[in-house]
Amino acid sequence: DGGITQSPKYLFRKEGQNVTLSCEQNLNHDAMYWYRQDPGQGLRLIYYSQIVNDFQKGDIAEGYSVSREKKESFPLTVTSAQKNPTAFYLCASSTRQASRYGYTFGSGTRLTVV
Amino acid sequence: GQQVMQIPQYQHVQEGEDFTTYCNSSTTLSNIQWYKQRPGGHPVFLIQLVKSGEVKKQKRLTFQFGEAKKNSSLHITATQTTDVGTYFCAGPGTYKYIFGTGTRLKVLA
């Protein structure tokens, strides 16, 4: 079955540590996105990529980094510079135009700083 | 920059009552999409509207795109407990969609 997989589902991080969230898709989508969602809030865009080896900052990129070395993969690193990283992180993918079928989201990673 | 706002932010209804959420864009949109996120889950694409004044139905859900293509609405008839969740609209920006602020629906049995 085609889909988008995020791992791990739950992640605990100590303050000062970097952590990397995985996002893999087998939908042959060109575009991939990372969103942050805080409890009861909307979706805030962190980074997005329209094509391999290229990505752009979203609205809240500070303290995060990404790479897009393969079409299928778009990992997100939450660095120690991110002061309040506890949140629900959602990865999504789409065709370049995202038309007709919209974004396909992964099931998310819940990151908690302990 | 482009903004997409939704009202209301929260809505509590009794089961069987109707529900409507409204989406307003600061710019004219070529299309608009709607998503549903169940509590604890991830957003799921529901539908895309493209034409001015377009109305589409999915069972008890009715989606409408405004004549000026700057607003949209989602109406649920006779809500059920399975309708609980947050509904987001999204409009196309530059290389990405701009998601609305969302409307959280709670259905009281």
Cβ contact A40–B104 (<8 Å): yes
User: Residues with Cβ < 8 Å from A90, sequence gap 6 or more?
Assistant: A6, A34, A35, A36, A37, A43, A105, A106, A108, B42, B43
Percent of chain A exceeding pLDDT 70 equals 98
Percent of chain A exceeding pLDDT 90 equals 83
CA-only gyration radius of chain A, Å:
13
pLDDT in tens, B28-54: 999 999 999 999 999 999 999 999 999
Cβ contact B45–A102 (<8 Å): yes
CA distance B99 to B90: 4
CA distance A35 to B4: 16
According to the model, what pLDDT value does residue A1 have?
Answer: 62
pLDDT in tens, A56-69: 999 999 999 999 99
pLDDT in tens, A4-21: 999 999 999 998 899 999
Q: Is B21 on the interface with A (CB under 8 A)?
A: no
Strands B43-49 and B32-37: antiparallel
Interface test with A, best of B34, B94, B96, B105 (most A CBs within 10 A): B96
* Among A29, A5, A94, CA closest to B45: A94
The alpha carbon of residue B104 and the mean position of all alpha carbons in its chain are separated, in whole angstroms, by 10
User: Average per-residue pLDDT in chain A?
Assistant: 94
CA distance A20 to A8: 10
Is pLDDT larger for residue A114 or for residue B19? B19
pLDDT in tens, B42-90: 999 999 999 999 999 999 999 999 999 999 999 999 999 999 999 999 9
